[in-house]
């Protein structure tokens, strides 16, 4: 009895107001841990094409409880077509919300709410957020949750100055190597020339092949290139061949080894190309 009385009252109210309301709540999510940080300018809009006297663009401001409330959804005469609204939530360009499709019957009650996708056909509906009860019991106040998709990044990050970046600078590296040679070479020359030079050559080789070592694809390409290139070809041969007199090669005085002959163009001797030399050998 009591129940029927309240439902009667409700009916009366609905006859008077003849419209329902839509409340959109903002759930706590990983991208928006605290919905209360949204700026006060955030608002939700319902948009459709104008038809008749009805309002076709509605706007709702963000409330203290981090919700958007549309009071009194527009209604028209009962023979009118239901309206299909696009629901957008905009938050000063910062947080991005998924757009929804809101279908409203002629009497102002909500028929259904679905997620929708921009740039897709309008009948391509996504997740269902609310659907009217088939039994016909119309709900006057519908509450759905908004969906935060992401956050916009407005600013460019400036590269920070760090001493490490200075060291990474090729110019600085060159200078360091040159300095190293300047100071270390004479001393090393005195002790054991061949060790120092082979160490240096190893450095040159590794630095030139560094990229190729990283990526197999690149390595393949690099090897293809290196077949044509006499310098690296020579170095490869030298490393592979083992018994190569580096010191002699560096000094450019020449040696009987065919591999050294192959390295001719790389040194200042300028004799023959590596390919022909090997074929001959």
Report the site for other proteins in 86-115 (rule: CB under 8 A): 86, 88, 90-94, 96, 99, 101
Residue 87's Cβ-count burial label (10 Å; 0-12, 13-18, 19+) is: buried
Residues 260 and 244: beta-carbon distance below 8 Å: yes
Residues 74 and 103: beta-carbon distance below 8 Å: no
Instruction: Give the shortest CB-164-to-other proteins separation in angstroms.
Output: 14
Among 9, 11, 122, 168, binds other proteins (CB under 8 A): 122
How many whole angstroms separate alpha carbon 25 and alpha carbon 121? 26
Q: Is 163 near other proteins (CB under 8 A)? A: no
Q: Is 59 near other proteins (CB under 8 A)? A: yes
Among 135, 159, 164, 240, binds other proteins (CB under 8 A): 159
Count the site residues for other proteins by CB under 8 A.
48
Instruction: Give the shortest CB-269-to-other proteins separation in angstroms.
Output: 25
CA 183 vs. chain centroid, Å, equals 47
- Residue that has been written with the tokens 């998924």 in this structure: 98
Q: Is 271 near other proteins (CB under 8 A)? A: no
Q: Is 15 near other proteins (CB under 8 A)? A: no
Report the site for other proteins in 220-259 (rule: CB under 8 A): none
Structure tokens at 3: 């129940």
Among 43, 54, 219, 278, binds other proteins (CB under 8 A): 43
Q: Is 133 near other proteins (CB under 8 A)? A: no
Instruction: Give the shortest CB-88-to-other proteins separation in angstroms.
Output: 7
How many whole angstroms separate alpha carbon 183 and alpha carbon 206? 22
How many whole angstroms separate alpha carbon 15 and alpha carbon 49? 26
Judged by beta carbon, residue 1 or residue 153, the one nearer other proteins is 153
Q: Which of 108, 147, 112, 127 is nearest to 14 (CA)?
A: 108
How many whole angstroms separate alpha carbon 218 and alpha carbon 224? 10
Which residues form the interface with other proteins (CB under 8 A)? 39-41, 43, 45, 47-50, 56-57, 59, 61-64, 71, 84, 86, 88, 90-94, 96, 99, 101, 116-123, 152-159, 161, 166, 179, 182
């Amino acid at each position: 009895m009591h129940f029927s009385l309240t439902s009667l009252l409700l009916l009366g109210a609905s006859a008077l107001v003849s419209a329902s309301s839509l409340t959109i709540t903002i759930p706590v999510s990983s991208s928006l841990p605290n919905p209360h940080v949204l700026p006060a300018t955030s608002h939700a809009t319902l948009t459709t094409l104008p038809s008749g006297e009805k309002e076709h663009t509605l706007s709702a401001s963000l409330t203290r409880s981090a919700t958007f409330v549309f009071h009194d959804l527009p209604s028209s005469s009962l023979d009118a077509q239901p309206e299909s609204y696009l629901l957008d939530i905009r938050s000063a360009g910062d947080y991005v919300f998924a757009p929804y499709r809101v279908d409203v019957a002629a009497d102002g009650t909500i028929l259904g709410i679905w997620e929708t996708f921009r740039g897709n056909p309008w009948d391509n509906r996504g997740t269902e957020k609310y659907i009217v009860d088939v039994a016909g019991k119309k709900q006057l106040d519908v509450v759905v949750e908004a969906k935060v998709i992401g956050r916009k990044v407005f600013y460019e990050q400036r590269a920070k100055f760090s001493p490490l970046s200075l060291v990474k600078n090729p110019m600085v590296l060159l200078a360091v190597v040159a300095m190293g040679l300047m100071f270390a070479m004479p001393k090393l020359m005195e002790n054991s020339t061949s060790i120092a030079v082979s160490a240096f050559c190893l450095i040159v080789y590794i630095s030139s092949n560094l990229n190729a070592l990283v990526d197999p694809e690149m390595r393949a390409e690099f090897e293809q290139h290196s077949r044509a290139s006499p310098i690296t070809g020579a170095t490869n041969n030298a490393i592979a061949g083992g018994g190569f007199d580096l010191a002699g090669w560096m000094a450019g005085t020449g040696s009987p080894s065919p591999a050294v002959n192959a390295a001719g163009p790389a040194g200042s001797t300028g004799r023959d190309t590596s390919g022909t030399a090997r074929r001959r050998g």
